[in-house]
């Protein structure tokens, strides 16, 4: 299949596919004599794997680790489990930071009054 077909199947852009191919997350496509890339079902499988991993918030580095684990004969499910646990810890830290950010924004929002911008307590606080 061509890049447009693969992109449509996986609901991403051709640029995303080219990028993942360029950085080595996605195996290179076969190049036909006419210069077009030709993708196989294995590319669709790997691209889906990458996109689902990204949707779960895995960083590019973590996705690479996952793909490496998936292809290394010596990898174990425990290796993947450890990576998942590490990612869960990171997500929990981010959630904590987001809750603090939300509390700060709610505190600022409570200060909002219907006056002119020059009398805005939120702007005043952010400027101080």
Judge if 122 and 84 occupy the same domain: yes
CA 81 to chain centre: 19
pLDDT in tens, the chain (128 residues): 999 999 999 999 999 999 999 999 999 999 889 888 899 999 999 999 999 999 999 999 999 999 999 999 999 999 999 999 999 999 999 999 999 999 999 988 888 777 666 678 888 888 88
Is residue 70, in this structure, part of any structural domain at all? no
User: Which domain covers residue 126, as residue numbers?
Assistant: 76-128
| Integer CA distances (angstroms), 8 to 25, 36, 54, 87, 109, in order | 19, 17, 18, 29, 42
**CATH number reported for the structural domain that contains residue 27 in this entry:** 1.10.1660.10
Judge if 40 and 92 occupy the same domain: no
Q: How many domains does the chain have?
A: 2
Judged by DSSP in three states, 38 sits in strand
Is residue 71, in this structure, part of any structural domain at all? no
């Amino acid at each position: 299949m061509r890049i447009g077909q693969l992109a449509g199947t996986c609901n991403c852009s051709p640029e995303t596919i080219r990028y993942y191919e360029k950085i080595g997350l996605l195996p290179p496509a076969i190049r036909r004599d006419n210069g077009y890339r030709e993708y196989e079902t294995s590319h669709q499988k790997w691209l889906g794997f990458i996109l689902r991993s990204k949707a779960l918030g895995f960083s590019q580095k973590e996705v690479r680790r996952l793909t490496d684990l998936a292809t290394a004969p010596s990898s174990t499910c425990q290796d993947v489990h450890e990576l998942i646990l590490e990612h869960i810890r990171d997500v929990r830290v981010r959630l904590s930071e987001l809750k603090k950010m939300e509390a700060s924004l709610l505190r600022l929002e409570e200060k909002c009054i219907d006056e002119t911008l020059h009398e805005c307590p939120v702007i005043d606080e952010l400027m101080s």
